[in-house]
Chain A
């Protein structure tokens, strides 16, 4: 399986009053194409920090990614992380930021986030802006990252205006072989009822008219946007770091030129702007694809008017708007009720089947993991202690922590199971235990655990464990 995202030795620390919190300690994993990787662990084990580190959303100060590699295609997202800041060792560690590098990285990451990697958060209410309508917020991400597609559809629609009008009048439509054809196929498949199809038709025709009126301007825009897309794609595929550097510089320069606020204001004024109309149609179609009843009403509503489950559907539609390579879902169902959780998990699975995005699902609920994921990584105190296929992990857990975790879950389906507990508490990561970080709570602890940090060992195919119990066996074999 082709790996979409490879994380190697990721190390994140938080510099706070009490000391340095070693939140992530050499975290490594990879996500295959179309795979759902679950990351499970308790509070403070670093699962969310992992997600935020990958997308560079760690608040700084106090957090900093200290080292490691995150490869998206051929591009290392952390390539100049060490240039961003210097550490001065005094009584407390002082950080000297290099703001120029940070600003440039930020500009470059704006092209990655939302387009190649997107995120769903635990609190959908907090993830959406309360002063904008749902439509504005979905359209924003489309306008930012997906202009090429929107313009292509509009262009094709303006070429086929007469056919579209015939379609609207009740006639049938021939399938075109470009973007518009695909889109019409999709509309026919996903649209619910005649009213929904009419909405699509109206907007397509209106947009096409707008496009043909100022053909030249939009053609120009399309050309530029295609160029930019090509640049971005080259960035991910080109193996040469020097070329990457150059492309990043060019992208950053262009990003500075685009004034998003100005752009959106201009477009708002020009209600007939085909880009805006198409973004609205696309938002509508996205909401339909996440099974929202009455998508037209939802488009016009503000986040506080919707329920938690509905909002999470909206954030999912935003996250998937640009067909990202990786979707990171950080506890997407924790704030929801079980019946709604079941809906959302079903939706995520269906969408994943349909568009093939890789998903990193972060949760503390092993039940959710068991039902949704292909592979699982178990985290403890900033380390991935065990990683395996989901069936293998549940059938044959190896790490003492995983075993303890599985035994401590109350089960609905098994009344006679006695709950076992893992003694002790999660360690303080400012002064984590020496050697294996789990050793103070481990029932199988022996001397080596207290001094030496275990390395990852493959016990069977695709099943790795960080535990000294198994290193001995492998050595003996």
Chain B
């Protein structure tokens, strides 16, 4: 297996809910709650979930665009961190620093040096290696800037990588030629450089946003619903463009979306989130053919298939997603789950490896795949 590019340990992001005259904190929105993920070099990871499940927040926390409430983020950990360190960090929440042993303290120091959040120098380097593309092509481009200025911005700040591994800043005509070359690759032409964003269609704006993101040749690109606001025919164009760019520039993608069909088309591995928790991680084909977690099963069955002659059973989940400000105790899915039993309301399931390369957080994961456990009479129906 290839090298780990990003190792996030125990990430949490709670948004405080302020209220009252004095603005005290009434509670928290548990947007991302204890997420541990690894992203490997060169792969495309799909991050999927419904609205409000925290997938966008996780993407932002991974890029240090939002400060996490807790957790560490190692970038290129194999170069700088031993696996012991991240193991330690995973369990750190149960240990108080004062109770740490000497050698553990050393490891903690080591981790701090490697952690993107805590080490400023590392953070600056990190900025040059990661980029993001947003969902909404309307608000992601500054309406008062020309396209050339929009694309030039990251280059002016970060420079472009040269062959000897350093970065150099470019200006003036050199910069314009560079942008021109890149925009050609995006399927736009040079005429477009001297226009304002509002003159473009959604697909073209998304191309511009991608051009801006990859202009500094990042290693890791977070794609936050890049095609959700686009039409299917344009979506296909953008997806194939992204695939081409990934091969050319050897980038790693985190593809955040609610559209499972897109995930299946683009990603190598899939992370499924529900209410701030990762519920299932698996290789793509395995997930689509043998989903383990009841939520994933329901999610997969609910997607409308563009084939009127195909009959399928839809598992209709009752109710709505609970509020992330007040998540249910125990397993967060138990309020809508067909398999829920008493243990689910009390104890939170851990993310366990059920099969090779396929982990899920469910108390009855093994029983469900072996077919031992039958669902409660649920409102399934067929088309």
Contact = CB atoms under 8 A, between A and B. Distances in A.
* A and B associate in one complex: yes
Nearest to A417: B265
A340 B320 contact: yes
Interface stretch (A121-129, A268-276, A400-408, A451-459): A400-408
A391 B308 contact: yes
Interface in B283-339: 284-285, 288, 298-310, 314, 316-317, 319-321
Interface stretch (A64-72, A165-173, A251-259, A366-374): A366-374
Given A364-B232, A370-B305, A421-B237, A410 B265 contact: yes
A343 B319 CA distance: 9
Given A346-B381, A405-B232, A410 B261 contact: yes
A337 B51 contact: yes
Interface residues on A, range: 35 or more
A238 B235 CA distance: 49
Contacts of B299: 338-339
Interface string B221-250: 000000000111111110110000000000
A342 B316 contact: yes
Contacts of A420: 236
B2 interface: no
Contact of B240 (A411, A415, A419, A426): A419
A370 B304 contact: yes
A426 B204 CA distance: 11
Contact of A412 (B258, B300, B308, B319): B300
B264 interface: yes
B320 A390 contact: no
A15 interface: no
B306 A364 contact: no
Contacts of A34: none
A412 B240 contact: no
Contact of B239 (A42, A338, A419): A419
Interface residues on B, range: 35 or more
B202 interface: yes
Contacts of B301: 342
Contacts of A293: 319
B340 interface: no
A346 B235 contact: no
A310 interface: yes
Contacts of B320: 307-310, 340
Given A370-B307, A391-B308, A394-B308, A412 B264 contact: yes
B170 interface: no
Contacts of B310: 413
Contacts of A421: 233, 236-237, 240
B304 A341 contact: yes
Given A371-B383, A412-B261, A391 B309 contact: yes
A408 B233 contact: yes
Given A339-B299, A345-B304, A367-B304, A43 B231 contact: yes
A222 interface: no
B304 A42 contact: no
Contact of A338 (B50, B240, B285): B50
B65 to A, nearest CB: 24
B196 to A, nearest CB: 13
A370 B232 contact: no
Contacts of B319: 293
A415 B285 contact: yes
Given A339-B299, A421-B236, A411 B309 contact: no
Contacts, number: 132
A415 B304 contact: no
Nearest to B379: A346
Nearest to B322: A307
A339 B298 contact: yes
A191 interface: no
Contact of A419 (B50, B265, B307): B265
Nearest to A395: B309
Given A394-B309, A419-B240, A42 B232 contact: yes
A368 B306 CA distance: 7
A340 B320 CA distance: 7
B277 to A, nearest CB: 16
Contact of B261 (A308, A345, A371, A409): A409
A370 B310 CA distance: 9
Contacts of B305: 367, 370-371, 411-413
A371 B314 CA distance: 11
A140 interface: no
A339 B317 contact: yes
Nearest to B238: A421
B302 A411 contact: no
Contacts of B381: 346
Nearest to B295: A339
A405 B50 contact: no
B260 interface: yes
A365 B304 contact: yes
A364 B321 CA distance: 25
Contacts of A409: 232, 236, 261, 306
Tell me which of A44, A411, A425 has the highest count of chain B C-beta atoms within 10 A of its own C-beta: A425
Given A367-B303, A405-B232, A419-B240, A337 B316 contact: no
Contacts of A406: 306
B140 interface: no
A341 B317 CA distance: 10
A422 interface: yes
Tell me which of B203, B236, B259, B309 has the highest count of chain A C-beta atoms within 10 A of its own C-beta: B236
A225 to B, nearest CB: 38
B201 interface: yes
Contact of B306 (A342, A343, A394, A425): A394
B135 to A, nearest CB: 13
Tell me which of B201, B302, B308 has the highest count of chain A C-beta atoms within 10 A of its own C-beta: B308
Given A338-B299, A371-B383, A415 B288 contact: yes
Contact of A43 (B202, B236, B285, B303): B202
B306 A339 contact: no
Contact of B203 (A346, A365, A425): A425
Nearest to A422: B233
A368 B304 contact: yes
B288 to A, nearest CB: 6
A339 B288 CA distance: 16
B357 to A, nearest CB: 17
Contacts of B92: none
A44 B202 CA distance: 11
A207 to B, nearest CB: 33
Nearest to A335: B51
A271 B278 CA distance: 52
A421 B238 CA distance: 9
A410 B234 CA distance: 12
Interface in A405-461: 405-406, 408-413, 415, 417, 419-423, 425-426
Contacts of B307: 370, 394, 413
B117 to A, nearest CB: 31
Given A307-B320, A339-B298, A370 B306 contact: yes
B262 interface: yes
Q: Which 9 A-B pairs have the closest CB atoms?
A: A367-B304, A42-B231, A408-B236, A337-B50, A410-B265, A342-B302, A366-B306, A410-B261, A422-B233
7 contacts: A42-B234, A342-B304, A364-B232, A365-B304, A391-B308, A410-B239, A413-B310
Given A370-B307, A394-B309, A413-B310, 5 more contacts: A308-B320, A338-B303, A371-B308, A394-B307, A409-B261
